[in-house]
Amino acid sequence: MNPFDLLPPGLKKRLIRWLEDNRGLVIVLFCLPASFIFDTGLSLYKWFQRTLLSAPERHDARVRQIQRRVGDWNKQDAPSRRPMCTSRPNWLSLSTTFFKKSECHRIPVDLYDILQLDTERMVVRVEPMVTVGDITRYLIPRGYTLAVTLEISDATCGGLALGVGMTTYSHRVGLYQETIVSYDVVLGDGSLVRATADNEHKDLYYCLPWSHGTLGFLVALELQIIPVKQFVHMRYIPVRGQKQYCDRMRELSGALDKDAKLPDYLEATVFDRDSAVIMVGNFAKVDTPEKAAKVNHVTRWYKPWFYKHVETFLTKGESDEYIPLRDYLLRHNRAIFWVLESMIPFGNHPVFRLFLGWLCPPKPAFLKFTTTPGIRAMTFSKQVFQDIVLPMTVLEESIDLSEKLFDTYPVLIYPCRIYDHGPSNRGQLRSPKSDQMCPGANYGMFYDLGVYGTPGPVRRKRGYYNPVESMRAMEAFIRKVGGYSFLYADIFLTEEEFNEMFDLEAYNRARKKYHAEGAFPRLYEKVRPEVDVVKIGNEYAQAE
């Protein structure tokens, strides 16, 4: 039972309002210290697991154990069998939802090792629970990084492979799935297969992305790596005028010219409808005193949050600096992009950063671990967390719609290629439409529209806001223009609308062919919110 439900309605309302008004103080006094202790204990456990128990040479034996457990599940009476899922706790995932694992047969998939670095093939082979933090610590000192590296250190390589990943290198290579060379998967019948883009399991290869663990247990994968230098030379380009920054992003990303010279990294942060800072990054050496004077370690605890640092260039004008590569790759980790501002409004104050910045951010696993029903409702009724894949042709329209529906800034833009792999190599994403294609290329330029924070009416405590109406209007727009919602976040789609947004024809064939029917939940069942977001959202709607 929710303790708040025991309080008289008037007291309950006043207490909730006090907690909302003083959320930053509550988080600083209680959540940050508790999160630090929680994270320390979790880190020690992982250190013990990966240092003392790590044994890449025992990978095959660990996989056979998973196969045996799946085999044992198959021996159960068919009517009593429940669909399988991993035993990893919900609170360790970065999804905002809480899939009901208690209703499934849970299989431990404790695979945390980096298995092999092959610099001839330019791939690294890893187990699925290796995190972005782990792989960047391993690869960067050796002169490499993943072609697509998410900015949040707790994200796992396997989670990104079976979900989706996109970053500021994606205008060159596409989504995370395009950089996966092979998947090793234990199927519902206990067999082990390796799926690649050109072997007999290529249909499975193309359906595993966006499948969220509904086709099998991922036990290893090979990822493309790229050679790097130790710094990123970052140019900050402030642009006034929506058409101007949208046109500039299309130009810099190569959306209209497949032969355009592309930067290594490209993103934009939109601070209001008519103001944005475009960031252009290229690998670089720092080999002169002049360059050394421009080095900025942006992830140090006392430094301004990265997006706040970026915002200063709207007044400073165009400038440049050199950022150590790992700092650049994890630049948004400390403020969780800009989500932390809604939690701790004073968190970017220099005094706070100096004395308490080292405690930030609160660990996502801790925030999920301590989520109550009331807090869970607030994650979608009082806040917005959405990443959306959209064609570059609707960039201006999407920013306008985001402002109308959510009235929150900043907004993130990451350009990304979406490839047309042909009708025989289909996954859950459809081929881009002809008017979305880059001329003469086999891809269209899309982008991630990242909308995170507190909607304007909620932040101001006045004005009408209904999360159900806003989210369903955005989802209708996404379907209309041929885009996709990232499925880590809450969706308000009916199953029929979900099937309209995603192409599930090949996925459904793969479920039958690869023994997933009855063995694993269906995709919509796996990713839909565990609570009635429509009912709760309407209850929490803010009147004028």
The residues, any chain, with a CB within 8 Å of residue 37's CB and separated by 6 or more, are: none
Given this model, what pLDDT does residue 22 score? 66
Question: Strand locations in 5-120, DSSP E?
Answer: 84-86, 105-107, 114-118
Specify whether 211 is located in the same domain as 310.
no
Indicate the pTM of the whole model. Answer: 0.91
Specify whether 70 is located in the same domain as 190.
yes
Longest dimension (CA), the chain: 72
Given this model, what pLDDT does residue 8 score? 75
Specify whether 459 is located in the same domain as 472.
yes
Given this model, what pLDDT does residue 1 score? 45
Specify whether 126 is located in the same domain as 208.
yes
Residue 451 is assigned to a structural domain of this protein: yes
Residue 406 is assigned to a structural domain of this protein: yes
Q: Are 128 and 221 in contact (CB under 8 A)?
A: yes
Residue 129 is assigned to a structural domain of this protein: yes
Instruction: Report the C-alpha gap between 216 and 218 in whole angstroms.
Output: 6
Specify whether 67 is located in the same domain as 180.
yes
Among candidate residues 17, 34, 134, 20, the one with its CA nearest the CA of residue 363: 34
Residue 169 is assigned to a structural domain of this protein: yes
Specify whether 67 is located in the same domain as 50.
no
Given this model, what pLDDT does residue 488 score? 92
Question: Strand locations in 58-214, DSSP E?
Answer: 84-86, 105-107, 114-118, 123-126, 144-146, 180-186, 192-196
Please measure the distance between the N-terminal and C-terminal CA atoms of the chain and give it in whole angstroms.
31
Instruction: Report the C-alpha gap between 28 and 237 in whole angstroms.
Output: 34
| Strands across the sheet containing 484-485 | 319-324, 231-240, 275-284, 265-272, 411-419, 443-453, 384-391, 484-485
Instruction: Report the C-alpha gap between 476 and 468 in whole angstroms.
Output: 12
- The per-residue pLDDT for range 126-175, each reduced to its tens digit, is 999 999 999 999 999 999 999 999 888 889 999 999 999 999 999 999 99
Q: Are 418 and 429 in contact (CB under 8 A)?
A: yes
Residue 126 is assigned to a structural domain of this protein: yes
Where the chain has pLDDT below 50, the residues are: 1-2
Total domains in the fold of the chain: 4
Given this model, what pLDDT does residue 254 score? 97
pLDDT-above-70 percentage for the chain: 95
- The per-residue pLDDT for range 382-412, each reduced to its tens digit, is 899 999 999 999 999 999 999 999 999 999 9
Specify whether 175 is located in the same domain as 239.
no
Q: Which domain holds residue 21?
A: 9-54
Instruction: Report the C-alpha gap between 488 and 467 in whole angstroms.
Output: 17
Specify whether 110 is located in the same domain as 174.
yes
- The per-residue pLDDT for range 327-384, each reduced to its tens digit, is 999 999 899 889 888 888 899 999 999 999 998 888 777 777 777 777 788 788 989 9
Which of these three, 227, 253, 273, is where a domain ends? 227
